[in-house]
């Protein structure tokens, strides 16, 4: 299918912030539910695609419940990962990083290692079929214990050849990042790159914590940094990349609308801004649609998209040979 947002990209695209559980095709969710004997109670698209204005991150995250319910077998994870790579290829993406929390996929007995291998298998199959290069990130979760996060970091290191980075996700308003420092220290000690969700539901303080306590090289979202001059200087000086996700940022209430999205002025002020989808299915978007929306709402040009893609290429966690 050819649509304006699926037109050839003006420059090769790189996606750095994409959650697997939020990027499962609705048809795949329906297929997996039927295979597993799970009654959905409504068409899959109604259950997995969030409205344009959810009002909060908490509401937005409820649309991941059903995908997580069906992603509890190795086969389901492998299929979802493979199809994501196919979707990247259709979107003009030449390198994509996907993240997931393997500890959320053990309801039917999968271990962390089982889940990691299953996703990596799907990524490899998709890459072989399309030529898209991929990176895999594992998510620790703010509401879980430091020991649980440490177990995720240890699993990442056991699969160092498959895993490109470590992330911290979750409700930053209710849970601080600092308790998860041992997991991130372990990752840093092994040379594993780290990113942290911050500055999405909470403000600059959360981003300072991500940088100073967890050593984040990239910040997931980071759109609430604009009121802190010292933070902006730090982000600029250290070239800490911001993984902005415009449509998602509007849906969760992190920004009031696309026209007001700070990516435009942050890019103009010399920050390392990148653009991703966050959740391709939950947000019903692609990178093509994200850039089309920025062109329409904020007057973006090919020059701005090119700069953003250059930023993403240099900030990617995968080996240079994969980009």
According to the model, what pLDDT value does residue 55 have?
Answer: 84
Residue 194 scores a pLDDT above 50: yes
Confidence category of residue 11, pLDDT binned at 50, 70, 90: confident
Question: Looking at the domain assignment, is residue 177 inside a domain?
Answer: yes
Q: Is residue 258 part of a domain?
A: yes
DSSP 4-54: GGGSPPSS-EEE--BBGGGS--HHHHHHHHHHHT---SS-HHHHHS--S--
- Does any domain span residue 219? yes
The mean pLDDT value for 253-276 works out to: 95
Give this prediction's pTM. Answer: 0.95
136: left (phi over 0), alpha (psi -120 to 50) or beta: beta
Q: In the chain, pLDDT over 70 holds for what percent of residues?
A: 96
Residue 148 lies in a domain: yes
Radius of gyration of the chain (CA): 18
Read off the CATH number of the domain in which 229 is found: 3.20.20.140
pLDDT band, residue 62 (cuts 50/70/90)? very high
Cα(245)–Cα(249) distance, integer angstroms: 6
Rounded to 5 degrees, what angle do the CA atoms 184, 287, 71 make?
60
Residue 261 lies in a domain: yes
pLDDT of residue 4: 44
pLDDT at 8 over 80: no
Range 169-183 average pLDDT: 95
pLDDT greater than 60 at residue 323: no
Do 9 and 40 meet the contact criterion of CB atoms below 8 Å apart? no
H, E, C per residue of 159-180: CCCCCCEEEEECCCCCCCCHHH
Confidence of residue 115 (pLDDT cuts 50, 70, 90): very high
Is 5 a domain residue? no
Residue 223 has a pLDDT of 96
* Residue 98 pLDDT > 80: yes
Mean pLDDT (whole number) for 66-80: 98
Cβ pair 229, 205 in contact under 8 A? no
Q: Which domain holds residue 257?
A: 11-316
Active-site residues, by number, are: 200
Compute the CA torsion angle 288, 291, 292, 298 (nearest 10 deg).
170
The three-class DSSP label of residue 224 is: helix
Q: What angle do CA 273, 314, 172 make, to 5 degrees?
A: 45
Q: pLDDT band at 7, cuts 50/70/90?
A: low
2 domain residue, yes or no: no
Residue 6 lies in a domain: no
Question: Does the pLDDT at position 2 exceed 50?
Answer: no
1 pLDDT more than 50 = no
| Mean pLDDT value across residues 162-172 | 96
Band of residue 214 on the pLDDT scale cut at 50, 70, 90: very high
Asked if residue 133 has pLDDT above 50, the reply is yes
Residue 253 has pLDDT above 80, yes or no: yes
Counted domains in the chain: 1
Task: Flag whether pLDDT at 79 surpasses 50.
Answer: yes
Average pLDDT for residues 12-28, to the nearest whole number?
97
């Amino acid at each position: 299918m050819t649509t304006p947002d699926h037109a050839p990209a003006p420059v090769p695209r790189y996606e750095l912030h994409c959650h697997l559980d939020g990027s499962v095709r609705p048809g795949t969710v329906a297929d997996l539910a039927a295979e597993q004997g799970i009654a959905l109670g409504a068409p899959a698209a109604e259950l997995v695609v969030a409205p344009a204005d959810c009002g909060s991150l908490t509401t937005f995250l409820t649309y991941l419940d059903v995908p997580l319910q069906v992603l509890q077998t190795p086969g389901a994870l492998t299929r979802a990962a493979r199809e994501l790579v196919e979707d990247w290829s259709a979107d003009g993406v030449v390198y994509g990083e996907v993240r997931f929390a393997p500890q959320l996929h053990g309801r039917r007995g999968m271990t962390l290692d089982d889940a990691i291998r299953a996703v990596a298998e799907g990524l490899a199959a998709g890459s072989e079929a399309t030529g898209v290069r991929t990176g895999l990130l594992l998510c620790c979760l703010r509401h879980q214990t430091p020991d649980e996060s440490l177990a995720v970091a240890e699993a990442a290191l056991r699969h160092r050849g498959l895993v490109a980075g470590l992330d911290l996700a979750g409700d930053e308003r209710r849970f601080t990042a600092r308790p998860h420092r041992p997991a991130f220290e372990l990752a840093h000690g092994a040379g594993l790159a780290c990113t942290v969700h911050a500055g999405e539901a909470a403000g600059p303080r959360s981003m300072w914590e991500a940088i100073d306590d967890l050593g984040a090289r990239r910040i997931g979202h980071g759109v609430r940094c604009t009121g802190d001059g010292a933070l902006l200087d730090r982000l600029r000086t250290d070239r800490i990349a911001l993984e902005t996700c415009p449509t998602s940022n509007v849906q969760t209430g992190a920004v009031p609308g696309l026209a007001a999205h700070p990516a435009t002025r942050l890019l103009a002020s010399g920050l390392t801004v990148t653009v991703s989808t966050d959740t391709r299915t939950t947000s019903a978007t692609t990178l093509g649609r994200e850039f089309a929306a920025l062109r329409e709402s904020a007057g973006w040009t090919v020059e701005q998209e090119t700069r953003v893609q250059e930023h993403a290429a240099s900030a990617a966690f995968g080996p240079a040979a994969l980009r």
